[in-house]
Amino acid sequence: MDLKRFVVDHALAYGRERVEPVARTKPQWIAVVGAGPAGLTAAHDLAKEGYGVTVYEALPVAGGMMRVGIPAHRLPKGVLQQDIDDILALGVVLKTNTPIKDPTALLNEGYDAVCMATGISSRNHSLGLEGEDAEGVISAASFLRKINLGEPTTIGDRVAVVGGGITALDA
């Protein structure tokens, strides 16, 4: 991540090539479910190959855990947004706030294929500990998600963090 951040920071500071839309050379239209790293990469690669691509994201923003699980001091939101903007500039269509419950419905709507890339942010982050569902207890991933989405979050006077991994430190 540090090398990519350096390269992107340098490109943002000293200019970068403008991304141009890619001509559709294939008649197929692909739906990508999930706008995290896997979904955005799939959308990028499919668009570069000439497919029409629409990305569906349940959250109000694209980026997945890069957007909602990593604080801005580790991954500046502008850097991430530039990458997303570059992908959209290829002609990719992004539909946020659009959860997909039944991917086969997308095929019935006329898509030729569906790429499922729902990623880690859609998973339960339970540790299986007694009391973790008690009032006032929240997982670090859920806490970071709320903070990064600007949702109201109440923090008590005393806080205990269980774990010592990077997510716990970020929270």
Domain boundaries, the chain: 2-121, 124-171
160-166 long-range CB contacts below 8 Å, 24 or more apart? 162/127, 162/129, 163/127
The top-level CATH class assigned to 2-121 is: alpha beta
**Bridge partner list, 95:** 56
The gap between the terminal CA atoms of the chain, to the nearest Å, is 19
**Bridge partner list, 122:** none
pLDDT, residue 29, reads 98
How is residue 17 annotated by DSSP? P
Alpha helices for 90-148 (secondary structure H):
103-108, 140-148
How far is C-alpha 16 from the geometric centre of its chain's CA atoms?
Answer: 23
Stronger pLDDT, 147 or 106, i.e. the higher one = 106
Stronger pLDDT, 169 or 85, i.e. the higher one = 85
99-102 long-range CB contacts below 8 Å, 24 or more apart? 99/56, 99/58, 100/31, 100/33, 100/56, 100/58
pLDDT in tens, 14-41: 777 777 888 899 999 999 999 999 999 9
pLDDT, residue 121, reads 61
Q: What is the pTM of this model?
A: 0.79
